[in-house]
Structure 1
């Protein structure tokens, strides 16, 4: 819950890496002053501003805008810094308002890296002031707090800087104004010229360009059920789930509408995501992964630059890689949409030309008709070949980028066969996202885009173990063959039977649970399992044998009741503590770790009371760290009628086998989802879980 501050009020910070989000009714300059215990500045180098946007532990936007995001790493600040003051000023000479009182009051929100609000302050009561110290983060006895300041200055930026203790305030104010007026600090360099059909595509506006790309998923929290409902095998949309905070499309800034493809497929597609940069802009060097290029990639001195891992907006490498992965997703969607549109145009043109050539009955027979048909078909083939050539060029660039990005991914984003797991260490901080699997399109089966969802999970997961999960059973599917080779024949030849689907579904659940345990700090995450029939024991073996799961789940209704009662009590107690700000009053036997509840063989062992508790956990649990993962066949719950429909609709449906059931609302592609399973015979999960358990015991 975000604390609403009034002027002079303070609020404790429970983390040291935060974002400061600024919204205003007009374009404003945002800066940061770093002061000592008395608030004095060491000099102009203690101010981060558009002309010098980076200081140690601080990154501010590079231009004036109505919205800003300021990145702050309090642990990275010099030891002499005790105050971090957020400065806002109206720029001059660009037709903007000259006083804050002429537009809506600016608002400043301090959030975590995951977007969770900590404190918000709306700077009310401003009139003729054109500059204001909005809030300050200050250190007291080793702990950091945020205070609402709201000190305005009618004499503008110079007066505010002078009041901060800078003798050269006028010179620094002039430098800042000059940087803004000359546009020296764009966050994203101007893109290279592209074909006309691409250059007309809308780009991100100023508000999007001057801040790190927002972390959002396929988009903010992954696929969400559409109107067709779960269980149909189709119709699940990417990035439209309730409560995720995501807009309807992969780009939360509205910069990614459906493309306007070149109908003849001849235009060169600009593969770059709007938020990408030619030079990574974040603290720390880029990883040293080799910039390899796949065979056939058109790399020439005049061609596109070699891809670099982390070449996206963001102030941390993790955020840059996250945004780059989503840029690859959007680029692939854009390129395939252009190809499909061009192919459709070629088909319609072929029909029109054939109809026109044969509209005269005298030309329907003989050599004239044959020549007309041949000419129309040759034109059609040329158009399709031209479109495919353009697609292949873009796919080659994306394949080269994937070859560089995949080895550089951190464990939370990496496949189980990534070498990063061999050097795994229990992390000290929570990650921003989780890899649930891979996405691909039929035009390019060997190019996989990681499916990343934000953490903490705001929606539960449903792993479909019913026959409907195997939508590719009819006919030959090359994508399934590729998956089978990569998984070491974990998928048997032919459609899997119900028992095999249930086994694969539970193995998928265990792989996701193991990843969640591995990417959280020791003791910050725990797993509980409901298995009334006791049939999940083989799949749960890595969790039980490593000690990540303290004991095998108790079978029968008593096991269901015991686990649900424990988690329901936890949700209720934490909700009350949050509501009354009494976290210290929680009982000592309450496990503070986030909980993942895996429900297997649902609804076996569930009575009406248990169903009510399960729905309560699905609705209320995510907000207080209790997350639900169902491994179930929806068809087996038909006896309950519409009672359980809200439960299924609230969950993100994934499948234990490749299935084309995810739809992005951006261009409407049906994406094939493929789970991230452990290669057959690999012991990586057991090794990782053993290290997690050892670290938890040591803690």
Structure 2
């Protein structure tokens, strides 16, 4: 029977193969340290963390996320290990909470491989601490137990590791921090806070998806559901998840493998009941566009899309978890048969093997049935929501663009592409980013780190990247009100001339792109000065003292041909704009290949980390903030031979001439 531990309490563990499930209010880093009989780490290799996620008998998540599932096989731990400490830490330098006192207490549960909870602990009482040892698995004679620890460290990871006797604690903490930060380039943001009413509505509308709430990507020794370079981040930078009560572990008896809904809600947590919406004629709930909380239709659609994204992620996580459980169960049954010489051969052995494989197939089939049911409901909802989207949220092939007119207000978000998973064929979720942008974009036009891009010719890939940049720049110009957006382009060698043609021909880009080293220098100097002036005015409370000719509209700087035409000063200015520009309305969109800038060495690493990496071809490089799925990103390219982009830009320019100062 599961127990809910208090600090210092212990409980025996029933077996060697376990999972540690973590649920937090926002992205956290999860890891585990191995200790000897004296509670000391013997070497840096005795810790599993995002930069080194796998050790013998231990595997942890490779990213910061709100939900984690850590796999433990106590029998496979290195000799001399007497303790396993489960540690949690807040990501450093990402704009999120600085200590655990500012967020809901994290929840940690020890479960069997089938999801049956053994013991759980909520790490309450934390304040200024930014790292905590949540649980300790320790050996007592010939058995293992779990103890609730809850020991926090205001000094963060470095203080925690030093307390366990690691001499190079500061260096290792920096390595972990760098690994998490590097992964933030490849992660989708956490959604806005969801109310109890929202959760209840989604649970009633999409049964299995919400039933999978809190399911993590299945992890076991040798099977990780996360990406080494994926993490929760930014606008796509981390935000508070706002769901302290979301998910922990499945209630005993609930399993996707069994064909029913999984209930990951902890028995001790209350959830507000909500009446289910009326079913349709076939018994399924009829989806409605804008069926979410919000003051306006756009806000309701925005929240509904996030709901669909989360439901999709958790439904697939539950399915993958059920499949992993079925495979683990089959392996155990086969191992039992093959491990005994008396049953290894003969008719009995063949029968046992056949039965084990049939059970595996049945469990997987049932799990797939649950997933298919949830995906069908989500697909029906997507078919209703997609046509109802406003231009800022819509694809370029949406008919809403044919009735486009310049908006009077800035929308709350803009679409930067689509996200999908291989299990959901045909189901795409809009990738929405809040406005104003809180983070710049980097369109990767190189072959490194992308399997899909390796199949495309280098010149064609660069051209597609430039077209993607133009499509995004045009969309931003279209969704901002007249004179609230200014586009700046640097194209030192003129390589993007063909892709930039729609912007120039329509007048949406009123001046030729900055060319050569002189053009790069002048543009960067002007935007850097703007950032300095606005920052000083804001800090001193004297915004009315800004020069009258200063362009206070949102600025987007599109950079092509990097690092051609850039000297050391220009590179430093670019880094400055990436770091400081978004807070005062200056954003960066770079079309670049990191390989081209290798000569700069590590000096450009902070620049790449400050930007959200997207690709000009569909590629599975983004991760969600819950379970770390590899989401396939599809860029927002304009359909071939379509004139929608040109027509929209003409409307933008016409509105600027009619109502603005242009």
Are 1:598 and 2:558 an aligned pair?
Answer: yes
Classify 1:420/1:300 alpha carbon distance in 2 versus 1 (closer, same or farther; 3 Å): closer
Pick from 472, 478, 492 the counterpart of residue 518 of structure 1: 478
Counterpart selection for 1:246 from 239, 245, 259 = 239
1:639 matches 2:632: no
Q: 1:434 to 1:243 in 2, by over 3 A?
A: closer
Deviations, residues 399-442 of structure 1 (Å, cap 9, x unaligned)? 00000011111111110000110100100000001111111111
> How has the CA–CA distance of structure 1 residues 200 and 526 changed in structure 2, closer, same or farther, with 3 Å as cutoff?
closer
Query: Displacement of 1:337 after TM fit?
Result: 0.7
Q: Which residue of 2 aligns with 1:366?
A: 346
1:12-46 CA-partner distances (Å, limit 9, x unpaired) = xxxxxxxxxxxxxxxxxxxxxxxxxxxxxxxxxxx
Instruction: Show the counterpart of 1:648.
Output: 608
TM-score w.r.t. length of structure 1: 0.59
Summarize deviations over 1:60-94 as a string: whole Å, max 9, x none.
xxxxxxx9xxxxxxxxxxxxxxxxxxxxxxxxxxx
Aligned match for 1:435, one of 390, 415, 427: 415
Name the residue aligned to 1:505.
Answer: 465
1:696 maps to which residue?
656
Corresponding residue of 2:257: 264
Residue correspondence of structure 1 range 311-350 to structure 2 within 5 A: 311-350=291-330
SS at match of 1:373: helix
1:399 is matched with which residue: 350, 357, 379? 379
- SS in structure 2 of the partner of residue 605 of structure 1: coil
Alpha-carbon shift at residue 690 of structure 1 (Å) = 0.5
Count of residue pairs the alignment pairs up: 446
Following superposition, the deviation at residue 609 of structure 1 comes to 1.1
Using the TM superposition, give the Cα deviation of residue 258 of structure 1 relative to its aligned residue in structure 2, in angstroms: 6.1
Helix, strand or coil: the match of 2:362?
Answer: helix
Deviation at 1:199, TM superposition (A): 6.9
Equivalence for 1:237 = 231
Distance (Å, rounded) in 2 between the aligned partners of 1:461 and 1:660: 17
**SS state at 2:342 partner:** helix
**Structure 1: any 5+ residue segments left out of the alignment?**
1-66, 68-184, 204-231, 281-290, 292-298, 475-494
Write the distance in 2 (CA, Å) between the matches of 1:403 and 1:270: 27
DSSP-derived class of the 1:450 partner:
strand
Contact 1:470 1:657 in 2 (8 A): no
Q: What SS does the aligned partner of 2:283 have? A: coil
Find the counterpart in structure 2 of residue 612 from structure 1: 572
Cα distance change on mapping 1:255 and 1:321 into 2, 3 Å = farther
1:581 to 538, 541, 547: 541
| Distance in 1 of aligned mates of 2:594 and 2:272 | 40
List per-residue Cα deviations over 1:561-593 (Å, max 9, x = no partner): 111111112112222222233333222322221
For residues 480-559 of structure 1, the aligned pairs below 5 Å read: 495-559=455-519
The change in CA–CA distance for 1:525 and 1:201 in structure 2 (over 3 A counts) is closer
CA contact (8 A) 1:195 1:267 kept: no
Map of 2:406 onto structure 1: 426
| 1:85-123 deviations in Å (ceiling 9; x for gaps) | xxxxxxxxxxxxxxxxxxxxxxxxxxxxxxxxxxxxxxx
Distance 2:649 2:345 in 1: 74
Task: Indicate if the aligned counterparts of 1:595 and 1:627 stay in contact, CA closer than 8 A.
Answer: yes
- The CA distance in 2 between the partners of 1:542 and 1:197, in whole Å, is 42
Call closer, same or farther: CA 1:473–1:631 in 2, change over 3 Å.
closer
3-state SS of paired residue (1:565): helix
- Structure 1 SS opposite 2:448: helix
1:409 paired with 2:389, answer yes
Which residue in 2 is equivalent to 1:58? Answer: none
> Runs of 5+ in structure 2 lacking a partner?
1-102, 104-195, 216-225, 266-270
Structure with greater contact order relative to length (CA < 8 Å, sep ≥ 6): 2
How has the CA–CA distance of structure 1 residues 270 and 513 changed in structure 2, closer, same or farther, with 3 Å as cutoff? farther
Relative to structure 1, the CA distance from residue 593 to residue 336 in structure 2 (aligned partners, 3 Å threshold; closer, same or farther) is same
Closer, same or farther in 2 for the Cα pair 1:504/1:189, shift >3 Å? closer
Match of 1:687 in 2: 647
Cα pair distance change 1:673/1:368, threshold 3 Å: same
Match of 1:97 in 2: none
Following the alignment from structure 2 to structure 1, what is the Cα–Cα distance between the partners of residues 311 and 414?
Answer: 21
Cα distance in 2 for partners of 1:403, 1:358 equals 50
State the secondary structure of the residue aligned to 2:287: coil
Structure 1 residues 507 and 258: alpha-carbon distance in aligned structure 2, compared to 1, 3 A threshold: farther
Q: Is the 8 A contact 2:312 2:375 kept in 1?
A: yes
**Cα-to-partner distance string for 1:608-635 (whole Å, 9 max, x where unaligned):** 1111111111111111111001110011
Cα drift, residue 242 of structure 1: 8.7
What's the C-alpha RMSD, in Å, of the aligned pairs? 3.2
| Residues 452-479 of structure 1, C-alpha deviations (whole Å, 9 max, x = no match) | 11111111111101012642368xxxxx
| Alpha-carbon distance in structure 1 between the residues aligned to 2:503 and 2:289 | 33
Residues 359-396 of structure 1: per-residue CA shift (max 9 Å, x gap):
33233333222222111111111111000001000000
Give SS of 2:442's match: strand
Q: Encode CA deviations 1:531-574: one digit per residue, 9 max, x unaligned.
A: 11111100000100110101221321011011111111211222
Matches within 5 A, 1:112-151: none
CA shift for structure 1 position 658: 1.1
Q: Identify if the C-alpha distance between structure 1 residues 514 and 458 changes in structure 2 by more than 3 Å, giving closer, same or farther.
A: same
| Residue 528 (structure 1) shift | 0.5
Closer, same or farther: CA 302–423 of 1 in aligned 2, 3 Å: closer
Deviations 1:218-249 (A, max 9, x none): xxxxxxxxxxxxxx9962324x33995602xx
Separation of aligned partners in 1, 2:274 and 2:493: 53
Q: TM-score, normalised by structure 2?
A: 0.63
Relative to 1, partners in 2 of residues 1:435 and 1:471: Cα closer, same or farther, differing over 3 Å? same
For 2:424, the equivalent position in structure 1 comes to: 444
Question: How far apart, in 2, do the equivalents of 1:682 and 1:510 lie?
Answer: 14
Which SS does the other structure have where 2:354 is aligned?
helix
Partner of 1:462, secondary structure, is strand
Q: Matched residues in 2 for 1:391 and 1:500: separation?
A: 38
**Given that residues 233 and 468 in structure 1 are in contact (C-alpha distance below 8 angstroms), is that contact kept between their aligned partners in structure 2?**
no
Q: Where does residue 60 of structure 2 map in the other structure?
A: none
